[in-house]
Amino acid sequence: MTTTSYTQVELLTLQGPEFRRVSTAPPRPSTEDEIPIIDLSTIDDGPTARKVIALHVRAAAENTGFFYIKNHGIAPELIQRAQASAQAFFEQTEEQKSLVSHAKSAHSDGYHGVGSTQINKKETRDRKETFSLRYNPANDPTVPDPTALLTNTRYSYGDDDFLWKGTAHIRNFKATTLEFYQGRLTLARKMIRIFALALDMPEDYFDSVTTNPGADGLYVHYPGSPEIVPDNVDIDVGIGSHTDIQCVTLLWQDMSGGLQVLSAKDEWLDARPIPDTLVVNIGDFLQRLSNNRFKSTVHRVYNRQTKSRYSMPFFLGFNPDSVCRVVPSCIDGEHSALYEPISCGKWHRDRLALAQGKRIYA
Ligand SMILES: O=C(O)CCC(=O)C(=O)O
Ligand SMILES: [Fe+2]
């Protein structure tokens, strides 16, 4: 009989460090139940079809907290162009990449170099580089009057001018990056409606808090190792063990592999790449609103091959000024609300500051 041994990962939360038990067994492939593939081909067919999708999403959200989506409506050709833009960006010299350094932005958008981040302070520094674009109402075709939002001093939005100036020499970079961002914003809004249904709420329940949401679109590059490294040999982690901060993450990953997800039984699972799918997972804010019913799952990435690994995550949060509370359907006689209402913008700012080791203001 083999006995399973466990270690733990430490996570940062606004309430202080949190520990999760993790099996020391090497990652294994996930079963279809653990990380299911959910077909979205009927998502625009009406409420009955969406409810069926929502039931699959609910099962996944209560189990591993990760699933794949297929027939998600983002054209493979657009994804291919976005990946080529990411690659063209990262293949530049450090000097060229630093034209869009995050240091030029008040909102952490722009370029973060290899080793400049450490998402898990108990693990190695992250071996990845990132280009990130924050939400700007001017890039959201559904906002009727972006100027009114941009000049409202209660808000602070990503100022992306410096991003486009510093990448103007890369052919079609701005057009493709924005087209891909907008496609994912549309899809993320459809998915949050599915999550509302999965929580037994009307599908428009979150609509009013996603009109100008905290939504970040990223390109990520994990450099290859000098030689192929087997699973049982330690290397710097590509991105350390963490949970995502906001509500819903949509992730495109290339065919490299390396994404690992903590199962409901505390084992590492390989979230293997599946062509023409996106990976979806739940962030801490949605877990909070669901009174812990939906899981914000620990995950990490290793790149053990000699080739580069590319991924393109998109993080959907809610409007920065909206105050969100535990969803009423998640409270009953046996389950009282575990969390106070909180402003989504403040939550996001504080969690980013925590991750970056900065001071948090009341
Ligand atoms: O690159 C990936 O596959 C995952 C990235 C990730 O987990 C993140 O950026 O939060
Ligand atoms: Fe993540």
Ligand nearest to the CA of 302: 1
Q: Is residue 341 assigned to a domain?
A: yes
126 CB near ligand 1 (under 6 Å): no
The phi, psi pair for 319, rounded to 5°, reads -55, 140
Dist CA 347 CA 323 (whole Å): 10
Q: In 88-120, which positions are buried (b, 16+ CB within 10 angstroms) versus exposed (e)?
A: bbbeeeeeebbbbbbeebebbbbbbebeebbbb
Check the CA dihedral 175-143-76-279 and report its sign: positive
pLDDT number for residue 1: 61
Q: Is residue 4 assigned to a domain?
A: no
Report the candidate in 25, 55, 26 with the shortest Cα–Cα distance to residue 38: 55
Distance 324 CA to ligand 1 centre (A): 25
166 CB near ligand 1 (under 6 Å): no
CB 70 within 8 A of CB 40: yes
64 CB near ligand 1 (under 6 Å): no
Dist CA 289 CA 63 (whole Å): 17
pLDDT number for residue 220: 98
Dist CA 88 CA 44 (whole Å): 35
**Closest approach atom of ligand 1 to CA 249:** 10
The partner residues of 324 in beta bridges, in order of sequence, read 342
The pick from 127, 251, 315 for probing ligand 1's pocket by mutation, whose C-beta has the most ligand atoms within 8 angstroms, reads 251
Ligand 1, atom 2: nearest CA belongs to which residue?
A: 311
Dist CA 97 CA 87 (whole Å): 12
Over the chain (362 residues), the average pLDDT of each successive run of 10 is 86 86 94 97 97 98 97 98 98 98 88 93 93 95 90 76 97 98 98 98 97 96 92 89 96 98 96 98 96 97 96 96 94 94 88 76 56
Ligand 1, atom 9: nearest CA belongs to which residue?
A: 313
Instruction: Annotate 308-323 with three-state secondary structure.
Output: CEEEEEEEECCCCCCE
Greatest pairwise CA separation for the chain in angstroms: 66
**Closest approach atom of ligand 1 to CA 271:** 3
pLDDT number for residue 79: 98
pLDDT number for residue 86: 98
Containing 58, the helix (H) or strand (E) segment is helix 47-62
Report the candidate in 94, 75, 73, 71 with the shortest Cα–Cα distance to residue 83: 75
pLDDT number for residue 352: 81
Check the CA dihedral 117-110-181-143 and report its sign: positive
Ligand 1, atom 5: nearest CA belongs to which residue?
A: 313
Distances (CA, A) of 186 to 2, 179, 226, 350: 48, 11, 39, 26
259 CB near ligand 1 (under 6 Å): yes
**356: its two tokens:** 């970056």
Q: Is residue 198 assigned to a domain?
A: yes
Residue 281's identity, in one-letter code, is N
30 CB near ligand 1 (under 6 Å): no
Q: Is residue 314 assigned to a domain?
A: yes
129 CB near ligand 1 (under 6 Å): no
In which domain, by residue range, is 189 found?
Answer: 25-355
Ligand nearest to the CA of 242: 2
**Closest approach atom of ligand 1 to CA 222:** 1
CB 209 within 8 A of CB 196: no
279 CB near ligand 1 (under 6 Å): no
Ligand nearest to the CA of 311: 1
Cβ contacts of 350 within 8 Å, gap of 6 or more: 14, 360
Report the candidate in 332, 263, 250 with the shortest Cα–Cα distance to residue 291: 332
Structural domain count of the chain: 1
Ligand 1, atom 8: nearest CA belongs to which residue?
A: 313
Dist CA 289 CA 339 (whole Å): 8
Residues having C-beta closer than 5 Å to ion ligand 2: 244
Report DSSP letters for 132-194, one per residue. Answer: EE---GGG-TT-S-HHHHHT-TT------HHHHHTTTTSTTHHHHHHHHHHHHHHHHHHHHHH
Ligand 1, atom 1: nearest CA belongs to which residue?
A: 311
**Closest approach atom of ligand 1 to CA 315:** 10
Ligand nearest to the CA of 314: 1
Q: Is residue 327 assigned to a domain?
A: yes
301 CB near ligand 1 (under 6 Å): yes
CB 295 within 8 A of CB 57: no
Ligand nearest to the CA of 303: 1
**Closest approach atom of ligand 1 to CA 220:** 1
Distance 152 CA to ligand 2 centre (A): 31
Dist CA 88 CA 84 (whole Å): 6
Q: Is residue 86 assigned to a domain?
A: yes
Q: Is residue 16 assigned to a domain?
A: no
Ligand nearest to the CA of 221: 1
By the 10 Å C-beta count (0-12 exposed, 13-18 middle, 19+ buried), 151 is classed as exposed
299 CB near ligand 1 (under 6 Å): yes
pLDDT number for residue 305: 95
We report the CATH number of the domain holding residue 296 as 2.60.120.330
Q: Is residue 167 assigned to a domain?
A: yes
